[in-house]
Structure 1
Amino acid sequence: MWVEKNGPAWRIRDLINGKKVTLESGYPTKTAAKARMTALRADKMRGEFIDPRDGKLLLGEWIDIWWPTYEAGLKPTAQISEGRRARRHVQQVLGHLALDEVDNLAIQRWIAYLLAGDPAAGRRKLAPKSVRNCHGVLHTILGAAVVARKMRSNPCSETRLPQAPHHEMRFLSEPEIGRLLGAVPEHWRPLVVLLVSTGLRWGEAIALRPQDIDVLGGKLTVVRAMHELSSTGAIVFTEPKTERSRRTVTFPQRPVGEVLAGPVATRARGELVFRSPRGSEVRTRNFRRGWIKWVSVAGLDGLRIHDLRHTHAALLISAGVPLTAIQRRLGHSSIAVTSDLYGHLLPVVDEGIMAAVTAALSAVELELVEAEVADEVGIAA
Structure 2
Amino acid sequence: MASVHPRKNRAGEITSYQVKWRDGGTRAGAQQSESFEDETAAGVFKEAVDDAGQHWPPGWVKGRGYIAAETAAEDAYRFRVYARRVIENRTGIEERYRAACQKELEKWIYPTFGECDVRSVEHFSGDTIKAWVRVLERTRVTRGRMPDGSPKARPMSPKTIRNLHGLLSSILNEAVRAEPPLRSRNPCELTNLPRIDDSGASDDDEDIEFLTPQEVHALRSCLTLRQDQLMVDVKYGSGLRWGELTALAPTCILEVSGAKPRVRVKRAWKRDETGAYYLGTPKTKKSRRTLRISTSVVEALLELEKGLSSAESLYFTGDKGQRLHYSTFHDRWKRAVARAKKAGLLAQHKNPTPHDLRHSHAAALISAGHPLTYVQRRLGHESIKTTSDVYGHLLPEADDDAMATIEAAMAGNRPRLRAVNAAAG
Match of 1:349 in 2: 397
1:178 maps to what in 2?
A: 217
The structure 1 residue matched to 2:287, chosen from 245, 264, 284, is 245
Give, in angstroms, the shift of residue 309 of structure 1.
1.2
Is the 8 Å Cα contact of residues 210 and 269 (structure 1) preserved in structure 2? yes
Q: Residue type matched to 1:78 in 2?
A: Y
- The answer on 1:262 being equivalent to 2:282 is no
Distance in 1 between residues matched to 2:222 and 2:89, nearest whole Å: 48
Q: Pick the aligned partner of 1:332 from 376, 381, 391.
A: 381
- Contact 2:250-2:305 at 8 Å conserved across structures: yes
Secondary structure of 1:244 counterpart: coil
Length-normalised TM-score, structure 2: 0.62
In the alignment, the residues of structure 2 paired with residue 206 and residue 257 of structure 1 have an alpha-carbon distance, to the nearest angstrom, of: 16
Shift of 1:274: 0.9
Q: In the alignment, which residue of structure 2 is the partner of 1:85?
A: 104
Trace 1:154-173 onto structure 2 (pairs within 5 A): 154-162=186-194, 165=199, 166=201, 167-173=206-212
- Please, which runs of 5 or more residues in structure 2 have no aligned partner? 1-72, 141-152, 403-425
The answer to whether 1:195 aligns with 2:235 is: yes
Question: Is residue 2:262 matched to residue 1:225?
Answer: no
Higher helix fraction: Structure 1 or Structure 2? 1
Q: 2: distance between equivalents of 1:79 and 1:291?
A: 33
Instruction: Kindly report which structure 2 residues correspond to 1:1-381, keeping only aligned pairs within 5 A, or say none.
Output: 57-70=77-90, 73-99=92-118, 100=120, 101-114=123-136, 127-128=156-157, 130-148=160-178, 149-162=181-194, 165=199, 166=201, 167-184=206-223, 185-214=225-254, 215-217=256-258, 218-227=261-270, 234-253=276-295, 255-265=296-306, 266-299=308-341, 300=346, 301-346=350-395, 348-350=396-398
Larger Rg: 1
Do the aligned residues in 2 keep the contact of 1:208 with 1:272 (CA within 8 Å)? yes
Per-residue deviation, residues 279-314 of structure 1 (Å, max 9, x unmatched): 221112222222211122223441022211111111
Separation in 1, partners of 2:362, 2:82: 43
Equivalent position SS for 1:249: strand
| Counterparts of 1:236 and 1:145, CA distance in 2 | 35
By how many angstroms is 1:126 displaced?
A: 6.9
Q: 1:162 to 1:267 in 2, by over 3 A?
A: farther
Q: For residues 275 and 335 of structure 2, what CA distance do their matches in structure 1 show?
A: 24
TM-score by length of 1: 0.68
Identity of aligned residues (%): 33
1 CA distance for matches of 2:182 and 2:125? 14
Name the CA distance, whole Å, in 1 between partners of 2:219 and 2:399: 29
How many Å apart are 1:197 and its aligned residue?
A: 0.8
Aligned mates of 1:75, 1:309 — CA distance in 2:
26
Distance between the aligned counterparts of 1:352 and 1:162, measured in 2?
32
The whole-number CA distance in structure 2 between the counterparts of 1:210 and 1:76 is: 29
Structure 1 letter corresponding to 2:250? P
